[in-house]
Amino acid sequence: NTNPILSDGTKISDLIDLEKHEVKMRTLSDPELYALEMKKIFAKTWVFLGHETEIPNKGDFIVRDMGSDSVIVARSSDEQIHVSLNVCPHRGMKIATVDGGNAAAHVCIYHGWTFRPNGDFIAAPMEKECMHGKMRTKAELGLHKARVSIYGGLIFATWNIDGPSFEDFLGDAKWYFDTLWCRTTAGMEVLGPPQRFIIRANWKTACEQSASDGFHTLTLHRWLGEVGPYAKKPDAEGKGGDLSPEMYGVEVWTEHGHTMRCIELDRKIQRLTGRDPSSMSAEEKLTLLPPPGITREMVPELLKRFSPEQLHVMSWRPPQVGNFFPNGLFEFIYLPQPDGTVLGAMALHAYIPKGPDKLEFVNWILAEKDTPPEIKARMLRQSIQLLGTSGMVEQDDSDTWPHMTLAAKGAMSEDITLKYQALYEDDAKPADWPGPGYVGEGFTKDDTQWQWWKYWHALMTA
């Protein structure tokens, strides 16, 4: 696109070089670009807002952000979930000024206009006397409503009323995401409200990393192999844990910027059982090492729900880390325990943009409703230890983002480029890989993060 997008004449082609696979650092700090992203990305695409089990009862609501707009996510009297702009159509006051609660009606504290959980206008005080009959019809005075889609209990919404369906937006990623989010009839639940904390960083520093950057694990999270859950006793040469085997597997990217890293399980099964897993059936492997949050007793349900191809991927190289474009990250991690067993941790993050150099990190911890309570408790504790506000892994990650954001404001460094040239060959999709999408096999590379930027580019130039 050769049209200027910023007032100083900067074009999108000045910021992202599609031939060289490079992005100018200025992209991580520019306030004008940030404002454009809110309109062209967050107001156009589907955005993740929360989980339906956060609002189980009629009238329950939570207040969340769709890009730069606050929204009320509420369950109405007919049990449906609605998403409405949290702005009073009278004079623009914020309607819900708390994080959540239960309300049969939302009353604006300024002049008292009142709305149903579905956003419809109910009434205003002294309506007839004050409005002199010049009021618009009630149907015109409701809150601005978003289009909502519930997927595996996850609440997504978009302002793009006539845009692509949620199914279109997921595209080929759905084949894989179903094996994570739609595993049981009972479905999932959140284990408490999400943890939230502010980081002084541009939202894209967190989100491009979330598009399945595996390489940084070797250095930034090196402690995982030295003293953490992947550590092993030093060998004869005094060398400790080696994280590099965790970097092998399959990386998947799809049309709309969704990506995932599918990490090989065979070594874990071999270590657990002492047997060669290569000749085992999917059923046998899933029973020996069930996915995070699934117990052996729950495996027959997986066998009924999924195709042989999906079961093969789930038992061989399941997606363990990945993203929902634009700002969601999920983790379904197999965590080795000191006693030799494996525990799962399941978390979902949203990186909410709060300005060009500020984001809110929101962390939900999840389990299947059918998971036994004692396992849920262990999963919750393990997830908090590793993945949340006080967690050890993502404190490493969130150390880097502010430095990158600050550097992007430097007179010299704003022209430095982010480089994404470690790419798989075009024909890297393994012949025996049964799933859809673009697939690279081997040591973790840059394709997934580059694909994230390509969809960012597509939306910014749309």
Residues 6+ apart with CB under 8 A from 95: 72, 86, 87, 88, 106, 107, 108, 115, 143
Which of Fe ion, ligand FES, none is residue 93 near (CB under 5 to 8 Å by kind)? Answer: ligand FES
For the record, the structure tokens of 287 come out as: 């029973």
Which of ligand FES, Fe ion, none is residue 397 near (CB under 5 to 8 Å by kind)? Answer: Fe ion
| Angle in degrees, 0-180, between the axes of helices 203-210 and 393-407, rounded to the nearest 10 | 130
Closer residue to Fe ion (CB): 120 or 397: 397
Q: Among 10, 13, 36, 90, which residue sits at the site for ligand FES (rule: CB under 6 A)?
A: 90
Closer residue to ligand FES (CB): 70 or 287: 70
Which of ligand FES, Fe ion, none is residue 108 near (CB under 5 to 8 Å by kind)? Answer: ligand FES
Q: Is 440 helix (H, G, I), strand (E, B) or coil?
A: strand
Contact 287, 298 (CB under 8 A): no
Backbone dihedral region for residue 440 (phi beyond 0: left; psi -120 to 50: alpha; all else: beta)? beta
Which of Fe ion, ligand FES, none is residue 90 near (CB under 5 to 8 Å by kind)? Answer: ligand FES
Contact 359, 201 (CB under 8 A): yes
Site residues (CB under 6 A) for ligand FES, limited to 104-133: 108, 110-113
Residue 91 makes contact with ligand FES by CB under 6 A: yes
Q: Among 15, 47, 49, 88, which residue sits at the site for ligand FES (rule: CB under 6 A)?
A: 88
Contact positions vs Fe ion (CB under 5 A):
397
Closer residue to ligand FES (CB): 127 or 168: 127
Name the H helices within 29-126: 31-37
| Angle in degrees, 0-180, between the axes of helices 373-387 and 393-407, rounded to the nearest 10 | 30
Q: Which stretch binds ligand FES (CB under 6 A): 103-111, 156-164, 281-289, 347-355?
A: 103-111
For the record, the structure tokens of 20 come out as: 């060289």
Chain residue at closest Cβ approach to Fe ion: 397
Total of residues contacting ligand FES (CB under 6 A) = 9
Residue 452 makes contact with ligand FES by CB under 6 A: no
Give min distance, CB of 220 to Fe ion, in A: 6
Residue 144 makes contact with ligand FES by CB under 6 A: no
Q: Is 4 helix (H, G, I), strand (E, B) or coil?
A: strand
Q: Which of 351, 342, 46, 297 is nearest to 177 (CA)?
A: 46
Q: Which residues bind ligand FES (CB under 6 A)?
A: 88, 90-91, 93, 108, 110-113
